[in-house]
Structure 1
């Protein structure tokens, strides 16, 4: 299934949806049209998750960059030179985008093929697994414009890195290499540039054949764990484990183990 759009590419094959930001001449920076098309694509992913045709989402960028954040030539100042309400753009576009990615009941993989700056960096970090090309980099570029990290940056960075490194990245806006990001635990893995998409593709196909119902519960438990104390989180684990135990995937997994065969998970 292929969907023709202006600013993104979207295709589904073997249960893997691949969403490619496709404004390479602008380093795939966001404009209003791209946000509209992203909403459409993620709606298709949700429909595919419901009917079983989509079991993993891969997010990447076309050309030499992943995403350079907001396209400042698209809408950065009002015609009279007065500043626009950037908070309105966050509320309309970036907040729902992060929440939509986090709410998907399937694994979401970012394949960062080049620079990921500003909102582009934090969209990648909002995914469940982040693979980066060795030449890729992450830049919290907001401070250069007198802004704060948005798109979940002020929530994600201190939780992954602690306040010292989060503040260093946010205030200084320095480039963080993919290899340093991996060493700091900001991303999952760095791979050679030429191997990025083949590596991500193999992982995506592996996950697409797995127990995606259980994956969804694992995502929910881990992403929300920082909002709770230990006792409350243990209760969540109990409830989600009960749900997993009632799933078709669990029954199939046990049956396959007993029969010494490969399981055929359905994601239910």
Structure 2
């Protein structure tokens, strides 16, 4: 993947087949601007064209993940337009990415940034991290897919209360609720995230993509529809080189060497 680019709001770092994408406006708590959205979409487009990237990790620079939207960079008369033209395409691109996406939440994740993190496939958070649905403080509604994601993760009652009260949720509480995968000690966050990302990047990532798509689609389908869909996706997975490699490795009692295709 060509990582070259004049990025002002994000930083990229590649470790073998894992790409670390860091939201990088630490003086503004990594808040989102139009420029950051454009850079994020640019990178996600490059990832789709790169066979060398097999896992993406998103984190934040400095003391937090992100405080959400930079209000100084927002047209206050057309917030809905920003949601439709910036946040919605970003969440759609992220949730349909063909590789595993991890959120490494190193501090506060508020507003749209909290929902961006929760839209990732797996979320690890530092013990000091907090998740805040801060929209009600501004008289707005949750966006970034929050009204879809939260009720499915933690139930309607909890999701409603968090969105209405904007009470912070600690990483430990988030794990207990089922909002995130794991809360880890601050000093272990990067190492634990890196270990998981490397492990996923060596798996049959096409099969993992089909898996996450099935899980997301299950939210709007009946059991009968989902059973049919599982058959379709299983047939697609059956046609991959990784399936053949997995079977051969199993029969020969060796570790598989998956290529993500």
TM-score, normalised via structure 2 length = 0.97
- Asked whether the 8 Å contact 1:65–1:115 carries over to 2, the reply is yes
The residue that corresponds to 1:38 in the other structure is 40
Aligned counterparts of 1:54 and 1:12: Cα–Cα separation in 2:
8
Give the superposition deviation at 1:18: 1.0
Map of 1:3-42 to 2, 5 A cutoff? 3=4, 4-42=6-44
- Asked whether the 8 Å contact 1:111–1:131 carries over to 2, the reply is yes
Give the superposition deviation at 1:260: 1.3
Count of matched residue pairs: 259
Gaps of 5+ in 1: 78-83
The one of 77, 83, 87 aligned to 1:90: 83
- Asked whether the 8 Å contact 1:108–1:129 carries over to 2, the reply is yes
Map of 1:165-244 to 2, 5 A cutoff? 165-244=158-237
Give the superposition deviation at 1:17: 1.1
Aligned counterparts of 2:120 and 2:104: Cα–Cα separation in 1:
10
Aligned counterparts of 1:90 and 1:112: Cα–Cα separation in 2:
22
1:256 equivalent in alignment to 2:255: no
- Asked whether the 8 Å contact 1:16–1:54 carries over to 2, the reply is yes
- Asked whether the 8 Å contact 1:137–1:178 carries over to 2, the reply is yes
Bigger Cα displacement from structure 2, 182-191 vs 13-22: 13-22
Per-residue Cα deviation, 1:193-229 (whole angstroms, up to 9, x for no partner): 1111111101111111110010010011001111100
SS at match of 1:216: helix
Aligned counterparts of 2:213 and 2:74: Cα–Cα separation in 1:
35
Give the superposition deviation at 1:76: 4.7
The residue that corresponds to 2:62 in the other structure is 63
Please provide the CA RMSD for this pair: 0.9
TM-score, normalised via structure 1 length = 0.95
Gaps of 5+ in 2: none
* Structure 1: 4+ residue segments shifted above 4 A: none
- Asked whether the 8 Å contact 1:10–1:41 carries over to 2, the reply is no
Give the superposition deviation at 1:231: 0.2
